[in-house]
């Protein structure tokens, strides 16, 4: 099995990040930027699904672009296509999360090394049981709720309105601020237990990358939703700079598992290696 393709896929999981659901009452001139961002974060829990496109740069991977759909309720599901533009054919990967099972597809390169099978299957329940089947952090990123990161800007002490801009032809108001991971942890004390747990997992992902501080921007449209989100930081493996643009909020999302005949099970592969 060609190791570079799965490795590229796992690295691409770092990109499953973004923010949706922030809102601001554009009809209320008395609302401060900090108050608008705080109010916006409360709407995140109302999201059921969304589609987003992303572009930017990630540590150790370089320039990237991609698109994804995610369903949060009633049960989580995710489909993502990602391209690492500086890595050639091995930089393209597709990821699906269906019924707590993660699938990574490396295309033709993976199929050549796996008897025609172009998908690798990771059972996240088994992974959680003993941590042996795949990288736990990568599995967590595949399940990451990008909407949860919308609340990050509420931890900033310097939030300010940065003008108005058109995004995809939509009028938006932009908010900017800088937040440290310590600030983010302090803000979790104001959240309920479930939201605090999700927030802690998001923070740990940035700690793993060596990021201490994030510069953030939100573009909020007239319907009180984030249309675009940008996050920048200095990581151990290089700069982090991701921009995510959102579409089709709360519209139906369907993600299907790949055909069984095209899928290799990682657990079975490891058992075969053990027997060998």
CATH label of the domain that carries residue 93: 2.50.20.20
Q: Is the pLDDT of residue 50 over 50?
A: yes
Average pLDDT value over all residues in the chain: 76
Question: What is the per-residue pLDDT for 67?
Answer: 93
DSSP code, position 190: G
Of 109 and 101, more confident: 101
Reported as a pLDDT band with limits 50, 70 and 90, residue 44 is low
Can the peptide bond before residue 74 be classed as cis, meaning omega within 30 degrees of 0?
Answer: yes
pLDDT-above-70 percentage for the chain: 72
Residue 156: the pLDDT is 84
Cα separation, 64 vs 84, in Å, equals: 4
Tokens describing residue 190: 């104001």
Q: Which two tokens stand for residue 256?
A: 């299907």
According to the model, what pLDDT value does residue 154 have?
78
Distance, CA of 177 to CA of 185 (rounded, Å) = 16
Question: What pLDDT shows up at residue 145?
Answer: 60
CA gap 116, 108 in Å, rounded = 8
**Whole-Å CA distances, 7 to 49, 53, 110, 118, 267:** 28, 22, 11, 14, 17
For residue 156, the enclosing domain spans 4-275
Average pLDDT over residues 174-181: 93
pLDDT at 55 over 80: yes
Residue 91 has pLDDT above 80, yes or no: no
Q: Which residue has the higher pLDDT, 242 or 28?
A: 242
Q: Under DSSP, is residue 113 helix (H, G, I), strand (E, B) or coil? A: helix
Report the pLDDT value the prediction gives residue 136, as an integer from 0 to 100: 39
Question: Is 112 a residue whose pLDDT tops 80?
Answer: no
- The more confidently predicted of residues 191 and 98 is 98
Instruction: Give the pLDDT of residue 107.
Output: 67
pLDDT score of 6: 40
Query: Looking at residue 35, what is its pLDDT?
Result: 80
> What is the domain count for the chain?
1
> Which pLDDT tens digit goes with each residue over 179-234?
999 998 988 887 778 778 878 888 888 898 899 999 999 888 887 788 888 999 99
Q: What is the pLDDT of residue 211?
A: 94
pLDDT for the residue numbered 138: 41
């Amino acid at each position: 099995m060609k190791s570079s393709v799965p490795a590229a896929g796992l690295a691409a999981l770092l990109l499953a990040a973004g923010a949706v659901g922030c809102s601001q009452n554009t009809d209320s001139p008395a609302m401060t930027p900090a108050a608008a961002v705080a109010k916006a974060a409360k709407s995140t829990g109302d999201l059921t699904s969304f589609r987003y496109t992303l572009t930017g740069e990630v540590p150790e991977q370089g320039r990237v672009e991609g698109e994804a759909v995610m369903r949060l309720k009633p049960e989580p599901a995710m489909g993502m296509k990602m391209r690492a533009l500086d890595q050639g054919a091995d930089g393209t990967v597709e990821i699906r999360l269906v019924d707590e099972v993660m699938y990574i597809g490396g295309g033709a390169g993976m199929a050549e090394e796996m008897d025609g099978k172009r998908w690798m299957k990771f059972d996240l329940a088994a992974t959680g049981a003993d941590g042996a089947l795949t990288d736990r952090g990568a599995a967590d990123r595949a399940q990451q709720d990008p909407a949860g990161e919308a609340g990050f800007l509420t931890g900033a002490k310097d939030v300010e309105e940065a003008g108005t801009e058109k995004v995809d032809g939509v009028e938006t108001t932009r908010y900017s601020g800088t937040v440290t991971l310590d600030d983010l942890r302090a803000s979790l004390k104001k959240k309920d237990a479930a939201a605090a747990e999700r927030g802690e997992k998001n923070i740990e992902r940035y700690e793993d990358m060596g990021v201490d501080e994030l510069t953030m921007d939100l573009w909020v449209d007239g319907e009180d939703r984030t249309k675009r989100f940008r996050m920048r930081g200095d990581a151990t493996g290089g700069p982090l700079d991701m921009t995510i643009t959102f579409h089709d909020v709360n519209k139906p999302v369907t993600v299907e598992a790949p055909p069984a005949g095209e899928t290799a099970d990682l657990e079975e592969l490891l058992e075969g290696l053990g027997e060998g």
